């Protein structure tokens, strides 16, 4: 079989098998931390490829079988090693009375959760 045919076949199989979004066009990082003794999972993703001035960050926070998802724009500063943005995530859909105040850091085609504070009180989580 030719290389083109094998590549097309592999892509078709991967799509048909329902691989996670990260395998289908996103680059993601994962973090776990606790809020009020409850484990919270954070999945932070960006589209694959170069960021031309800005990138849309998909944030998903999960706990107790529930999820909070949102999209946050992050401006990529030309010439900077790392670009950052701040965001607030209301955790009430996850059963918490708190809000996360987070710093997202973009560097070299990846994004990660850099800092997490719990509000009210500005309590460091990460």
pLDDT at 114: 94
* Residue 12 covered by a domain: no
Lowest mean pLDDT among 23-32, 64-73, 90-99: 23-32
* Residue 6 covered by a domain: no
Q: What is the pLDDT of residues 43-70, one digit of tens each?
A: 999 998 777 789 999 999 999 999 999 9
pLDDT at 24: 63
* Residue 114 covered by a domain: yes
Whether the per-residue pLDDT at 71 is higher than 60: the answer is yes
Residue 60: which of 5, 96, 100 has the closest Cα?
100
Residues 6+ apart with CB under 8 A from 24: 14, 15
Residues 6+ apart with CB under 8 A from 61: 40, 41, 42, 43, 67, 68, 69, 89, 91, 94, 100
Tally the domains of the chain: 1
Domain of residue 38: give its range: 22-124
* Residue 116 covered by a domain: yes
Q: How confident is the model at residue 75 (pLDDT cuts 50, 70, 90)?
A: very high
Higher pLDDT among residues 7 and 25, named by residue: 25
Whether the per-residue pLDDT at 104 is higher than 90: the answer is yes
Q: Which two tokens stand for residue 82?
A: 């790392």
């Amino acid at each position: 079989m030719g290389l083109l045919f094998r590549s097309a076949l592999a892509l078709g199989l991967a799509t048909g098998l329902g691989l996670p979004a990260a395998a289908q066009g996103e680059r993601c990082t994962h973090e776990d931390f606790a809020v009020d003794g409850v484990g919270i999972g954070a999945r932070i993703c960006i589209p694959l490829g170069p960021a031309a001035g800005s990138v849309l960050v998909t944030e998903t926070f999960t706990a107790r079988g529930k999820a909070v998802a949102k999209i946050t724009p992050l401006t990529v500063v030309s010439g900077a090693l790392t670009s950052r943005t701040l965001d607030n995530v209301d955790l009430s859909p996850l059963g918490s009375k708190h809000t996360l105040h987070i710093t997202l850091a973009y560097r070299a085609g990846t994004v990660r959760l850099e800092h997490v504070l719990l509000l009210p009180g500005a309590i460091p989580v990460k």
